[in-house]
Amino acid sequence: MIAVGGYEGERVAILGLGRSGLSAARALAAGGARPVLWDDNPDARARAEGEGFELRDLGREGAFADVVALVTSPGIPHLYPAPNPMIAAAWEAGVPVDNDIGLFFRALGQGAWDDLDTPPRVVAVTGSNGKSTTSALIHHVLESAGRPAQLAGNIGRGVLDIDPPGEAGVIVLELSSYQTDLARALTPDIAVFTNLTPDHLDRHGGLGGYFAAKRRLFAEGGPDRAIIGVDEPEGRSLANQLSTAPSDDRVIRVSSGAKLSGPGWQVFARKGYLAEWRKGRQVGAIDLREIRGLPGAHNHQNACAAYAACRALGLGPRQIEAGFRSFEGLPHRSQIVAEANGVTFVNDSKATNVDSALKALMAFDRVRWICGGLMKEGGLSALAPGLEHVVKAYVIGREAAGFALELSGVEAETCTHMETAVARAVAEAEPGETVLLAPAAASFDQYDNFEKRGEDFATRVRAAVG
């Protein structure tokens, strides 16, 4: 656990008692604070009370009279689409609002690491797509190279639940826009921006607010190195804002598909080959085409970002390549779950939006595509470039028939349930084809979350192919 100091003897309110809320309460208590906790869910309150924490209804009059700070869970809206009433009450009382990420960076700055020969370093990864894979890949490469590393944030352990880092330790954080938007301290040593596509727009008041939440990771703390995906205008703008000259190698630009040039530091992938250029010459390269855990252009972008982060941490190209080759990928993200009779079965249940599903489709040549679910705003027209790779679509979800009608020019069978879709795809797939679950939709019409959907797919595939 990372103990959070600076609040000794003071009351700090905690709103929201999921993983991050309870973790923050424990960390504050360990640092000498007196946490008071609240959640609208009585079961969550009972769990907190069972751990000996004091409960306080933060919605009642005067609840913040003796409170010096409020720590809120990332999932609770603090501005858009409307402020949570308890957060608004904290504002009215002049009480600073923070989250567990802000507490983490605050605690790290107060830690007793000055005596270490090599102090710990923090790599923070944000972006719309690929941040989980990028974070896990950085962590995996570090561990495979013998560097002590921990993975936390949106993936792995809660950020305050990790062990205090030791000599030369590296903490890799995956951070969502919900986390970066509110944290009062954001001071990573290396910050990574993967890409930007529309998501969570209601929570951030539009695309500009969403980008601004991501940008805070770079603007608030001034990382030593900024690794920026420049395949979208927002990334190019951010890289330009952070650079002081074309040769400024504190900014590492990364791309999947575009050859980058100039006197600075670039890492890019084209036609399956990763190349690192610095000061106008190539200094490293990796053939990504046969690395099974990183299929497709979207994963090549992840590989470029992870490569750049590991290079900034002092690893050599061959060390990084060895780590790439042993990386098996993350569950539900381009995860190979079976191979039988020349057919590959891939679980990309995390592809809950059109952009993610398109990238998954583009990664394979002949696809038997299992898709459908709770369709998001905007329709499916943006999938058009990937539909050329689809042999046939097998549509699931409560509104499968309507979803299938959106797939213009593709043979689509309305299956409704995963069991039927997997059975039909297995029966019809031919050698050289890929049966791909990439729903392009949320899971909540039939499953609790995308993980449950992916597990259902994997279980039925393995049962069908033996």
Binding residues: 127-133
Host H or E run for residue 423: helix 418-428
Cα separation of 224 and 343, whole Å? 45
Q: Please, what is the angle between helix 296-312 and helix 354-362, to 10°?
A: 100
With tokens 């944000």, the residue in question is 126
Give me the DSSP letters along 269-297: EETTEEEEEETTEEEEEEE-TT-TTS-HH
| Annotated binding-site positions for ATP | 127-133
Compute CA distances 199 → 10, 75, 295, 463, whole Å. Answer: 38, 14, 24, 35
Compute CA distances 144 → 138, 282, 323, 400, whole Å. Answer: 10, 25, 6, 43
- What single-letter DSSP state applies at residue 382? G
114: left (phi over 0), alpha (psi -120 to 50) or beta: alpha
H helix runs in 36-130, sequence order: 42-50, 85-92, 100-110
**Residue 260 burial (CB count, 10 A):** 18
- What single-letter DSSP state applies at residue 351? -
Please, which residues bridge with residue 273 across strands?
270, 287
With tokens 């933060």, the residue in question is 58
